[in-house]
Structure 1
Amino acid sequence: MKVVCVGGGPAGLYLSILLKRQHPSHDITVHERNPEGSTYGWGVTYWRTFLDRLHTHDPESARAVEAASVRWRDGVAHVRGLTTRHRGDEGCAIGRHRLLEILADRARSLGVRLEYRHETDPARLPAADLVVAADGVGSALRTRYAGHFGTVRRTGRNPYLWLGTSKEFDSFTFAFAETAHGWIWAYGYGYAPERSTCVVECEPRAFTGLGLDRRPAPDTLALLQRLFAGVLEGHPLTARPAADDGAPWQTFRTLTNRTWSHGNLVLLGDAAHTTHYSIGAGTTLALEDAMALAAALRTHPALPDALAHYERRRKAALLPVQSAARHSAQWYENLPRYIDLPPERMFALLGQRHSPLLPHVPPQLYYRLDRAAGHLEPLRRLKRWLGPRLARTVHARQTPDG
């Protein structure tokens, strides 16, 4: 099979690795429009269970990823001068640059051709048995056939900014700062020695009230360093360059598609779907897409059957994740509902933000019920029963007809 993958991010590179491992005779080329080594972002997160899956699918790249990753178990929240800490499952992070380097080296070692600075014309698909659109949320290939794919975008409410810092967070850190114009908060996690990601998010009224919509990047970073001085401990924040010298604030775009394939063209990763960054699953889901597509191509000789199976399997797997991401984003969009709780209760509900039940129950009552549910099986069963039903109801209301 001749395969062309458009997009040299984690999803495209990992798919090329898996396909080459399945059939070394496959002719596989990855086209990436940017120079090698240039990428956005700082660190990406994943969980230990996902690392185990990487070891199952390609032990060699998994060992390299594991060796280059940092780990944490604690979550820490800072609010109004108080700090609360919770113990959780093992989380992991790796620098995006390092992850791409590992995957590119592994793909080359297997015989995949990597062509950087290669712009693909969306009006003329490459000559191949299979063309994979792994070119991200702004996918030119998907956009060319948006009517067929049934692409839907929903824009979130809160502005956010993706930053880096030399402060090495040893726990997944949340910091909430109250200003005269509303709340602004940061999520921080380490991904390498003296390297951490720091995502800043705020209420829309804080965004305009603090002048973040018009400040140049140096002034924005200086303000944020003052607001989060307590957790940064003197370390600077850094941002990616922006063409207009402004800090590159965004509002998150949740993207879905009615179908994921068009003839021999198939969507992968962010080109097919996005989930809110607050659940830290974007890269994990993209690599799981690659695993599922490779498996479908292995077990279904006819390409249409393989692509249909891949789409069904991934859409079903994504439903609970997308629900969790939607409720996580809404938790932050409704932060004033929770922020006045005692810090340990607020942080406990932060950990429960994926629950479809939480928005419909007063926070103090939910906290007490959740604590009780840990000891009473009937309450646990009630929570499990109500949650999916509320999720389906909300999803049905938010899904456009057709």
Structure 2
Amino acid sequence: MSASRPLRIGIVGYGTAGQASALLLTADGHRVEVFERAPQLGPVGAGFLLQPTGLAVLWELGLLDAALAHGARVGRLFGETVAGRAVMDMRYRELDPCLFGLGMQRGALFGLLDEAWRDGRSVHCGRRIVEMDAECGLLRDEHGEEHGAFDLVIVADGAASALRSSVAAPALDRPYPWGAQWCLVAQRDWGFVDELRQRYVGARRMAGMLPVGTRPGDPTPRLSFFWSLPTADLPAAGEDEAAWRRDVAEVWPEAAALLRDTAVPGGLAQARYRDTVQRRWHRGRAALMGDAAHAMSPQLGQGVNMALADALALRDALRTHAALPDAFAAYERRRRDHLGIYHFWSRWLTPLFQSERDRLAAMRDRVFHPMSRLPGGRGQMLRVLTGTRRGWLGTYAMAPAFIDALSERAPRSSQHPATDRPGGEIA
């Protein structure tokens, strides 16, 4: 339980960070209110890959088995050129036999988190918060109505946060020039049901297929399709349906075949990304969380995992520090210690996969995979891709009981005791 008195907490945003925070903090006896700008609650996006770091938070919430029931276990991350040259080939078991990723639909995770938050639930939909007094814990919506005062405000309103500057001016906040189109398709006879697959044409074109399992109310296993494009091209992308389908088929005929029933462009969601680094994450009674604190490109696929880890870190900080400034400082310190390396690699890897720098991509195609086979280098790459890297050389610690839970749920051939992982770290 919290080391301090129960707090009145306002959360701006009901994405993954907001949902997980609401669950964790309500369970600790705090009174939580959520403000969501959408008129109706629902997920945004197609699918994502949960890493062990994100799965650890779902285990803490008692939702691991429910997630496993809907998600698709992913054991391999594979990328190749259209000519069939391997660029990336990573397998979780090479880091630890009990580890895996879990592809999930946004709707599945949203539904699990939403259904779990029933006790003390308070959600205000259609409330776009446009102004915040961080020192007093006051919020003002677009209609001029004031909410609060709150003892604590969690700003989790996403990469395009309207409130982050009320906490601190960002050191860096810029949009990426490349975005993507997304959609879900039925898995049908897809041959790679436990692999994230990507295909590249230089750095200008990238397609991805991720198994994401089922969602409540829909038992059909699905794949999340990703198609990279410059953001300047997104508004008109797919208006010429025949040309769009031809472009996809030239990169990946098998993926194009699965998209035959997808409406183009109407059935394709658009995604844009930002690179944001905050000088500080908290001021007064307010703290930033998720993409509002540390937006980055999707190149390493860590967004949902980092949001979940943020929520758990703030819960833990509030449990161990009675004074809010001390809790905020501990929360920020713990999360920066984990996040910094991902901001770095996401920023530097993105031009290799999403840019017009085909010469860099040609070098990537020649050296990336051979470098990943070098002793030592492979383990480092695996740690970054699986979210278990902390800093340059450290390891992200996870509870030994969670590692035991993963081992119990692993295929029988890969089970082994967790006693060789001291301190809860994956060795």
After TM superposition, the score normalised by the length of structure 2 is: 0.70
Name the amino acid aligned to 2:71: S
Aligned equivalent of 1:296: 317
Aligned 8 A contact 1:216 1:246 in 2: no
- Residue 297 of structure 1 aligns to a residue in which SS? helix
How far did 1:172 drift? 0.9
Q: Secondary structure at the match of 2:273?
A: strand
- RCO greater where, 1 or 2, for CA within 8 Å and sep 6 or more? 2
Gaps of 5+ in 2: 1-6, 93-99, 133-137, 140-146, 214-219, 380-390, 394-427
Q: Which moved more, 1:308-317 or 1:231-240?
A: 231-240
Residue type at the aligned position of 2:176: G
- Which of 116, 132, 138 does residue 160 from structure 2 map onto? 138
Q: Which moved more, 1:223-232 or 1:277-286?
A: 223-232
2:376 & 2:171 partners in 1: Cα distance? 42
The C-alpha deviation readout for 1:36-67, integer Å capped at 9, x for no partner, is 44332111212235423431x222x2222222
In the other structure, the counterpart of 2:48 is 44
Cα distance in 1, alignment partners of residues 311 and 320 from structure 2: 14
Structure 1 gap segments, 5+ residues each: 353-366, 376-386, 390-402
Counterpart for residue 117 of structure 1: 126
Letter in structure 1 aligned against 2:116: R
Is the contact between residue 37 and residue 97 of structure 1 (CA under 8 Å) also seen in structure 2? no
Q: Any idea what the Cα deviations from partners look like across 1:223-276, whole Å, max 9, x if unmatched?
A: 44333442315111798999xx89776653101111111211111101111122
Structure 1 residue 162: Cα displacement: 3.1
* Count of matched residue positions in the alignment of Structure 1 and Structure 2: 342
- Distance in 2, Cα, partners of 1:342 & 1:259: 38
Alpha-carbon displacement from aligned partner over 1:164-207 (angstroms, at most 9, x marks no partner): 333455221111247xxx841212211024422222225x6xx9
- Note if contact 1:225-1:237 (Cα within 8 Å) is conserved in structure 2: no
Following TM superposition, the consecutive aligned residue runs of length 4 or more in structure 1 with deviations greater than 6 angstroms are 237-242, 245-248, 340-343, 372-375
3-state SS in 2 of match to 1:29: strand
Match of 2:199 in 1: 175
The residue that corresponds to 1:100 in the other structure is: 110
1:4 partner SS: strand
Q: Distance in 1 between matches of 2:208 and 2:319?
A: 40
**Root-mean-square deviation (CA), in Å?**
3.5
Q: Secondary structure at the match of 2:120?
A: coil
**Alignment-derived partner of residue 36 in structure 2:** 32
Which residue, 130, 142, 164 being the options, matches 2:184? Answer: 164
The whole-number CA distance in structure 1 between the counterparts of 2:264 and 2:85 is 33
| Residues 306 and 241 of structure 1: CA distance in aligned 2, closer, same or farther (over 3 Å) | farther
Write out per-residue CA displacement over residues 287-329 of structure 1, whole angstroms, 9 at most, x where no aligned residue: 1110111111111111122112211221222112212222321
Equivalent position of 1:235 in the other structure = 258
Per the alignment, residue 88 of structure 1 pairs with 91
Counterpart mapping for 1:252-291 below 5 A: 252-291=273-312
Partner SS state of residue 176, structure 2: strand
Kindly provide the amino acid, as one letter, of the partner of residue 140 in structure 1. A
Aligned to 2:175: 155
Q: Does 1:13 align with 2:19?
A: yes
Contact 2:211-2:222 within 8 A present in 1 as well: yes
Letter in 2 for 1:7: G
- Tell me how far 1:161 sits from its aligned partner: 3.0
SS state at 2:18 partner: helix
Q: Which protein is richer in helix relative to its size?
A: 1
Amino acid at match of 1:315: R
Q: Give the Cα separation in 1 of the matches to 2:260 and 2:298.
A: 19
Counterpart of 2:345? 324
SS where residue 140 of structure 1 aligns?
coil
